[in-house]
Amino acid sequence: MAHRRPGNALLCAAIVMVWVAGCSKNVSSDSGAAAASQAVPVQVRVTPSVKIPDATEYLSILKSRRSANINPQVEGQITKIFVKSGDHVAAGAALMQIDPLKQEATVNSQDAARMAQEAMVRNAKTQLDREQRLYDAKVVAKQDLDNAQTTYDSAVAQLKSLSEQVNQQNVELHYYKVAAPMDGIVGDIPVRVGDRVMVSTLLTTVDQPGALEAYIYVPAEKGGAIRLGLPVELLGEDGSVAATSKITFISPQVDTDTQTVLAKATVENPGAKLRIAQQLRARVIWGTHEGPVVPVLAVTRINGQFFVFLAVKEGQNTVARQKLLKVSDTIGNDFAVLDGLHAGDHVIISGTDFLQDGMPVAEQVQPEAPAAAAAKSSHGG
């Protein structure tokens, strides 16, 4: 009997270990089931990798490719303004009238002098004809005929000079009525009736609708990188793309006042949606690179830093883990991610306000947006 006790003890110990192991397994199964039942349902988006533009935004001003500044060609006081801003005018249409009274008086005075000279020419011609007859009859000397001829020639020359002066003054008289140089739309009119203007005074502008040019002012330090053909996006006030173009002109000089290089981009303007002198942000696209993007609505900003929640597999469970991001510009409804996220990560896009780091979640993968899928496939994704 004494030899059976150790065997019985071993058997009892084995039974106890099996019972403990069974209890432990049941507890673990119950804990996993409990965690699964407490998981918060969330929608996730699998992070795509897309072509991200390397771009910089600058101020640009739209100008007409066919725009005329209207300055007076004479000095004087404005007496009439025949148009208003926004009017469509034809070439030659009257825009303004500058007081012509003084010029009209000059023209009348010179015209009177011309008429008097015409009378003198007629008189000189009569005298010359008389001297010619007397000379032919050998009544007067040759010198008398020559003197009459000189008088006549001088009178004719003087008449020609006066006639040219009258014509010149008549041409100048036409300048007192300011006319449109071409068909177009009248711009701002900064002058008023009664203002005295000089040849340097800007009266208005006449612009032809159609294609515009975006004047883009690039800092001199980027002047070496800009080149013809670079894509340009003009952005509206809401950040949407209002027009696309390419760099068509680069100034060979740096503006000494602003230390910028002028670049131009031709902008087609169907429907005249863009306006002359309108200021827009111009996004110059230097190139592209492959990288991840994240929905703007999935990003939380805390103390100036950007965070997202990822659905991460840990053992048999899926938990929410908060991740610090470094983001760049927006691309549509997404942020371009510089660091902290990789293609294929599961980004939680719903219920983030109620999540905590390490909280169990039950993920529901959101189908890829058609636009993102198209962009991905077009770039070889």
Looking at per-residue pLDDT, the higher value among 227 and 379 belongs to 227
| Range 237-242 average pLDDT | 82
Most confident of 5-9, 24-28, 160-164, 333-337: 160-164
Best CATH choice for the domain 57-66+209-288 from the list 3.40.190.10, 1.10.287.1040, 2.40.30.170, 1.10.20.140: 2.40.30.170
Q: State residue 217's pLDDT score.
A: 93
| Range 239-268 average pLDDT | 91
Q: State residue 53's pLDDT score.
A: 81
- φ/ψ of 95, rounded to 5, equals -105, -45
Spatial separation of the C-alpha atoms in residues 94 and 203, rounded to whole Å: 13
pLDDT tens digits, one per residue of 18-43: 444 554 444 444 444 444 558 889 99
Mean per-residue pLDDT of the chain: 84
Q: State residue 331's pLDDT score.
A: 78
Looking at per-residue pLDDT, the higher value among 379 and 262 belongs to 262
264-268, 275-279, 293-297, 306-310: least confident range: 275-279
Q: What residue spans define the domains of the chain?
A: 37-51+289-378, 57-66+209-288, 74-97+176-208, 100-175
Q: State residue 281's pLDDT score.
A: 92
DSSP string, 140-185: S-HHHHHHHHHHHHHHHHHHHHHHHHHHHHHHHHHTTEEE-SSSEE
| Range 88-110 average pLDDT | 92
- Look up the CATH number of domain 100-175: 1.10.287
Task: Kindly report the length of the chain.
Answer: 381
133-147, 167-181, 271-285: least confident range: 271-285
Spatial separation of the C-alpha atoms in residues 331 and 49, rounded to whole Å: 13
| Range 275-303 average pLDDT | 89
Q: State residue 371's pLDDT score.
A: 43
| Range 108-137 average pLDDT | 92
Q: What are the strands, taking DSSP E only, across 146-297?
A: 177-179, 184-186, 196-197, 204-207, 212-219, 231-235, 241-254, 260-267, 279-295
State the fold for domain 37-51+289-378.
2.40.420
Instruction: Record the tokens describing residue 347, joined without a space.
Output: 């980004």
Spatial separation of the C-alpha atoms in residues 11 and 340, rounded to whole Å: 56
Looking at per-residue pLDDT, the higher value among 236 and 284 belongs to 284
Instruction: Record the tokens describing residue 272, joined without a space.
Output: 């005249």
Which pTM value belongs to this model? Answer: 0.53
Looking at per-residue pLDDT, the higher value among 330 and 96 belongs to 96
pLDDT tens digits, one per residue of 323-337: 999 988 777 788 889
21-35, 235-249, 267-281, 361-375: least confident range: 21-35
Q: Does domain 74-97+176-208 have CATH number 3.40.50.1820?
A: no
